[in-house]
Structure 1
């Protein structure tokens, strides 16, 4: 067939492409320290596997929005986080990613994004025909735009004929591994209310705070009438391949209309969350005691390895926000630009390439997160350091000092050596 016009073709998502590249190199016998893929590298918690088995005979389609029992469990999950929710406000999906895309497809106007941000946000907005309006993040955290810069961006965009309508926030953040403080969230919610913006709050990392006492404020608390919250089980319970996500819509007419639009979109795209996964979701969002204990262990492990990598990159001369949630660090090697220039590194793309080619360290360059391509920043996913086998990962999860385990210590030593050589 000739003359076929393709719209929206942008290639494979860069994090997925990098993960496949690392797999190819490892199959060829090359040892690579893989920090380039945002996967919670832990084995399945056994009760989750039991629920999956119990749901294996659920082969009917079921309601598009999700079964009532599962939506009730999700409603309870949000309510326990100070976001009162009824089951009819919830929509389930095969991952939070399609829910984020569905909101972009169902709401008119352009999209405001923090800069840097998760590499999927901009393509989703562009595939929905929107302009992406990036706004720099504050100095102390990521996942949210700097409030004063957001106000300026909105004014400039409208003067240029753009129509900013959606503000996407990540609480906590991918790629910086930080959480915006409540004061900043409140200020952004006030601005969203004044400018009549819909807030989309991606809270998939909320259960992975390194300090469980760290204060969290969801925009759904400060601006409930205009906030959609998305979450899922990919990160907190390491179920990325099972694809289980949920969205919570406002309780007003705006929320009901958007929920119905997303459900209609879902009916034509993914139909319903698979029945076995709904069985898993009902158990997981119900948060029984044994699952809460597992989550606490996972959060401690994530924090220990993220802080260890933070120490390594800052010792090599990078500036880096201290990680407080999830399993990422986002160093800036601008202070070492002269040393890197001598090795042919001039931007984030060449930095990513140099680390993989010369030091066998895979990271995702900042340019993939919408950052300035000329910067020397990248995202490192520290969860890939827990081990390559279920036995190693369980040992890391159970250890009082996971950094001292032979397999994690070996990888951390390789990182110290690699970054020291890069910047010497």
Structure 2
């Protein structure tokens, strides 16, 4: 007779737990740890946004909404996307429980069993398991520090097969902080059109672009019709715990995503939707102040890594640095574990983001300048304890 464990889904059994959360949980069990691990703003959601939630509760907004989300919120999202040269009708939008649900909906809608999903690596940890859970096959596409971790058409073409169906883009990138210019994206779009691929474009960090303006592949000719754009309120508006995301897609795709959303989630919480509406209508001044603070921290952490002898490309977006630790002679996993126990600094080993992340660690600078300064000092002491750079 099979054990209970053996009777459970082998697909789910074989998916590894999140490497990010493993180090987060380890750090939580220790004292005096500076965490550069979890990608979450250290800012509290602005008061007027929280107040909008309180006011909605006082007025009795505790019901379901339309499956797609509040019409006024979808209108505000459509207006907001115009700032990125994206023209969507509110009916082409669905409000989701965070960007993560939107990614899952897109995967399950686009994929048939055995379809291949092209994932530029290093990549956000959920893309591979979401692909597998949707019946697809994840295919890593390497990106490199010498290209500032941008996806190149040459590397993309090398991984395309007759089973390739979807390309995932995440720019600005988690974990590398890389960005893609409009010209970079056009070169990728040419390959996508040539091979008749769909695109899932995760643009949750769009606002956190420090040099120039964010470019979306969906804004390019011929691409809106084959792109599912994913974003949300978590990062730029400091609303991670509110779990309000959204997807924008052509009606043929969105209507199928909506079926899954109807049967599994129904709708995002109305209180969070009311708060998101306030953020989009009146929260841009506070958002811009937070982005300015991230920019200061970005410069500081990159400078700090370079001063202690760790090469670090300059992240142009998001709030992550991705220093190269190969010169220490340690693997990413060894470096992160020994750093945590020796110097009480939590970072995420690069290998959890795919093979291309080995030799690097992800460090979130969504924490105070004081904490970043202390962390760099501790990391420098740790590197020196190893005998310096090899």
Under a length normalisation based on structure 2, what TM-score does the superposition of the two structures give? Answer: 0.91
Separation of aligned partners in 1, 2:213 and 2:44: 29
SS of corresponding position for 1:113: strand
Separation of aligned partners in 1, 2:224 and 2:56: 34
CA contact (8 A) 1:307 1:323 kept: no
Q: 1:409: Cα distance to partner?
A: 4.1
1:31 aligns to what?
32
Q: Deviations over 1:22-76 (max 9, x none)?
A: 1121xxxx21121111111111201110111122232211211112111111111
Residue 311 (structure 1) aligned to one of 298, 303, 307: 303
2:7 aligns to what?
4
Q: 1:130: Cα distance to partner?
A: 1.0
Change beyond 3 A, Cα 1:359–1:63: same
CA contact (8 A) 1:366 1:376 kept: yes
1:324 aligns to what?
316
SS of corresponding position for 2:65: coil
Change beyond 3 A, Cα 1:181–1:422: farther
Separation of aligned partners in 1, 2:253 and 2:310: 43
Separation of aligned partners in 1, 2:204 and 2:387: 34
1:63 aligns to what?
66
2:22 aligns to what?
17
CA contact (8 A) 2:201 2:227 kept: yes
CA contact (8 A) 1:363 1:379 kept: yes
Q: 1:83: Cα distance to partner?
A: 0.4
Change beyond 3 A, Cα 1:407–1:277: same
Change beyond 3 A, Cα 1:294–1:125: same
Q: Deviations over 1:163-214 (max 9, x none)?
A: 1111011121111112112211110011101111111111111111234xx1
1:359 aligns to what?
343
Residue 263 (structure 2) aligned to one of 252, 265, 268: 268
Separation of aligned partners in 2, 1:15 and 1:34: 11
1:380 aligns to what?
363
SS of corresponding position for 2:7: coil
Q: 1:12: Cα distance to partner?
A: 3.5
Q: 1:11: Cα distance to partner?
A: 4.8
SS of corresponding position for 2:94: strand
Change beyond 3 A, Cα 1:296–1:140: farther
Separation of aligned partners in 2, 1:12 and 1:276: 31
Q: 1:416: Cα distance to partner?
A: 3.6
SS of corresponding position for 1:305: helix
Q: 1:407: Cα distance to partner?
A: 5.6
Query: What's the Cα RMSD here?
Result: 1.9
SS of corresponding position for 2:117: strand
- The 5 A counterparts of 1:13-412 are 13-25=18-30, 30-56=31-57, 57-108=60-111, 109-138=115-144, 139-142=146-149, 144-154=150-160, 157-158=161-162, 163-211=163-211, 214-222=212-220, 223-249=223-249, 255-286=250-281, 288=282, 291-334=283-326, 336=327, 340-341=328-329, 345=330, 347-372=331-356, 375-383=358-366, 385-386=367-368, 403=369, 409-412=373-376
Separation of aligned partners in 2, 1:67 and 1:189: 32
Under a length normalisation based on structure 1, what TM-score does the superposition of the two structures give? Answer: 0.84
Count of residues in Structure 1 that have an aligned counterpart in Structure 2: 375
Q: Deviations over 1:344-384 (max 9, x none)?
A: x3x221121111122211111111001247x321111111x
Unaligned runs of 5+ in 2: none
